[in-house]
Structure 1
Amino acid sequence: MSWAGPFQYDIGKSREPRLPPGELAFDRQRPTLLVLSHLRWSFVYQRPQHLMSRFAREFNVLFFEEPIPSEDGQPRLEVRSEENGVQVLIPRLPEECQGEAARALQRAMLDDYLARLQVDSPMLWFYTPMALDIAGHLPASLIVYDCMDELSAFRGAPPELVEREQALLQRADLVFTGGYSLWEAKKALHDNVHAFPSSVDIDHFARARARQDEPQDMQPIPKPRLGFYGVIDERLDIELLDQVAQLRPDWHIVLVGPVVKIDPAALPQRANLHYPGARTYEELPAYLSSWDVAIMPFALNESTRFISPTKTPEYLAGGCPVVSTPIRDVVRTYGDTEVVHIAATPAEFVTAAEQALAAAADRDRFLTAADSVLGDMSWDHTWSLMMEKMKWAM
């Protein structure tokens, strides 16, 4: 079976006034930035959302996500407006539409929508090399590859991802990496690679430093509390967490976030381990404020070899001392500070958490040290530097 345009457009709920298809906020005098993402805008608020909500100050930003099934079996493009007018585009495909047929349908949907907007040569921004199959045919005024993770090392990565990345690196005008370890891995593969470790919205997380109403699900949990927020997947060392909980049954460990790519039943279950589930970006400062120590219990494996966790500066901006396993970019950036403690084993993690609790007791000193580490770090600064690189590359 084949499908052809013109396609249906579904204008979904948004923070902006709802408008007819093709009439969402769009200024034809501005350049258009088309973002191809494997991460969904509404999943976890992280690097893509921080950057694209800022790029939307200068560009029309179209954020094209991976497809999801269509409830009625008819192909259509769901469109909604998000922060600063970012248009999120979600292809809805019939379940039986798979493989090359699905890719061809997405290409056709994208071509049709760009034609409606009268966009001829957008800037292309890739978060996943696999999207070359969807947008690689488009004429582009600039091609950016924002390599925020080594996706080929993640569980379930398609086997052809490495080949697609090689093709994207050959075509890209500009490559950004989500950390210095990734920059070291990619710098020999392209002549215009720049490291941009994830930054922080200091004002947002600094709310955690002021007195907050504790979230209701935190109130019954005794202190001290060691907290984590983020995606709970193969990157977490759940065995380490289980052993730390066993070593210190008087401590309570809280893991806030969705469980992805691992069986929830595989998570350790103890009276002092708590899994509240996913929370919104707006809710995170209140959770952070209710914890005594923030933790990053990442496993040391292929999927974490190149990560540069956004959580580190967010925790510090919130006024919470950090204990992390020895992730390379965490050690090189924060390992010699007194606000981030590094631990590799369960026993070391307990000792480091004790040190973090002691550091937090002298709050004024801790906050001064945390602010010194954060310096001028901000998403606005990262965005402005990226803008400069893009202008030079055009």
Structure 2
Amino acid sequence: MSTIIYPPSIPWNWMFQRPQQLLGRFSSVGHTVLYEDLGNFSTPKVSSLSPSLFLCQGYSAMDIPHPKPRILWLTVPSHINSIKNYEPDLVIYDAVDEPKEEFASWATYYPSIIEKSDLIFCSSQSIYEYFVKRHPHVYLVPNGVDYVHFSHSLSNRPMDLPSGKPIVGYSGAIAPWLDWELLKIVIQQNPKVNFVFLGALFQLYRFPLKKYQNVFYLGLKNYQELPTYLHHFDLGLIPFLQTEMTKGCNPIKLYEYYASGIRVLGTPLPELLCVPKINLESNPLLFSMRLQNLLEEKDVCQAERMAYAQANDWSERIGQILQYIFIRANTNQA
């Protein structure tokens, strides 16, 4: 078994995203994972999250004895310039966002990524189409879900959830790429609906919709308790702007909503167009009408949505990734 090192990129206990999910599963199948946590730590320490998953806080993974081969797993493009610090046997770049708009600075590092990476995984079709023309070992591996985690919920209703009205909810980064103008219109047209937002502020100084009485921003929730919130949503939102950056978004929230059994209303991002039983509108008035109709209609497609989520479990993704790594590693040895 190999050791997989993840340089400081995302705090382990921030929003539980693709890196934490994939690396956690690498460790569950026997690989040693050294996750260098992001943050300032007055007392450096190494915590064991499982028998083979270690959280390095203020500690370099290279200072911890570990088996080889050593795989460097990167998601932040600038880390491609830190390869020499880790002396890896294999360099993997996991591409999860387009280098546009909010992430425009990433584009500077792409020539080095193409030159120095042994494998490139891509979370969306548009990202894949960029890299596959430029690198010999590129694979499409969309996002996924911990189906068991999200399909089951604690019975207790969270105390901070509003009551008395249907809940239309959003879970994820509270960020500039949300279509805030669309949301304002939809919220104003639906005073008999409570709109709940869960997640951390990202590139925003304040929550943009705080003035509306039927809007509740509940902040970032612990990953362990998140399913309990989603199970009390009557409808899940993916209200993204349609931009050059978001065309490469394969929203994790889609799979988490579906695993939780709830219907989804979003804007027509390319990655959502082929999702079964999803509802998509770009015009604010049509979006609002669709929302109202969904809340009034009987839900007859829950089983199909949950089956789609189950088929896209992170365990399926790990199986694909490990197969590609095995092929590449054997090619290097030949």
Calculate the TM-score normalised by the size of structure 2. 0.90
Do residues 90 (structure 1) and 35 (structure 2) align? no
Q: Is the 8 A contact 1:114 1:120 kept in 2?
A: no
Counterpart in the other structure of 2:151? 206
Shift of 1:136: 3.6
Distance of aligned partners of 1:70 and 1:35 in 2 relative to their CA distance in 1, 3 Å threshold? closer
Instruction: Say which structure, 1 or 2, has more relative contact order (CA 8 Å, 6+ apart).
Output: 2
Amino acid at match of 1:289: H
2-structure distance, mates of 1:158, 1:372? 36
2-structure distance, mates of 1:116, 1:314? 35
1:210-253 Cα shifts (integer Å, max 9, x gaps): x83211111x4332110011110112112211111101111111
189, 196, 199: which is aligned to 2:141?
196
Distance of aligned partners of 1:65 and 1:372 in 2 relative to their CA distance in 1, 3 Å threshold? closer
Shift of 1:138: 3.6
Do residues 81 (structure 1) and 48 (structure 2) align? yes
Distance of aligned partners of 1:344 and 1:34 in 2 relative to their CA distance in 1, 3 Å threshold? same
Distance of aligned partners of 1:375 and 1:207 in 2 relative to their CA distance in 1, 3 Å threshold? closer
Shift of 1:261: 1.0
Count of residues in correspondence between the two structures: 328
Gaps of 5+ in 1: 1-29, 92-108
Amino acid at match of 1:130: S
Distance of aligned partners of 1:269 and 1:85 in 2 relative to their CA distance in 1, 3 Å threshold? farther
Q: Is the 8 A contact 1:179 1:307 kept in 2?
A: yes
Gaps of 5+ in 2: 330-334
Distance of aligned partners of 1:178 and 1:118 in 2 relative to their CA distance in 1, 3 Å threshold? closer
231, 236, 254: which is aligned to 2:178?
236
Do residues 53 (structure 1) and 24 (structure 2) align? yes
1-structure distance, mates of 2:51, 2:150? 20
Do residues 153 (structure 1) and 100 (structure 2) align? yes
Q: Structure 2 matches for 1:306-325, cutoff 5 A?
A: 306-325=248-267
Distance of aligned partners of 1:243 and 1:84 in 2 relative to their CA distance in 1, 3 Å threshold? farther
The CA RMSD over aligned residues, in Å, is 2.2
Counterpart in the other structure of 1:373? 308
Q: Structure 2 matches for 1:271-350, cutoff 5 A?
A: 271-331=213-273, 333-334=274-275, 337=276, 339-350=277-288
Secondary structure at the counterpart of residue 248 of structure 2: coil
Counterpart in the other structure of 1:248? 190
More displaced stretch, 237-246 vs 263-272:
263-272
Q: Is the 8 A contact 1:32 1:59 kept in 2?
A: yes
1:125-148 Cα shifts (integer Å, max 9, x gaps): 111121123334543221111111
Distance of aligned partners of 1:257 and 1:243 in 2 relative to their CA distance in 1, 3 Å threshold? same
Counterpart in the other structure of 1:260? 202
Secondary structure at the counterpart of residue 185 of structure 1: helix
Q: Is the 8 A contact 2:62 2:86 kept in 1?
A: no
1-structure distance, mates of 2:51, 2:15? 18
More displaced stretch, 54-63 vs 295-304:
295-304
Calculate the TM-score normalised by the size of structure 1. 0.77
Amino acid at match of 1:46: Q
Distance of aligned partners of 1:153 and 1:77 in 2 relative to their CA distance in 1, 3 Å threshold? farther
Identity of aligned residues (%): 24
Amino acid at match of 2:175: D
1:285-329 Cα shifts (integer Å, max 9, x gaps): 111111111111112233312110011121111110000111110
Distance of aligned partners of 1:131 and 1:276 in 2 relative to their CA distance in 1, 3 Å threshold? same
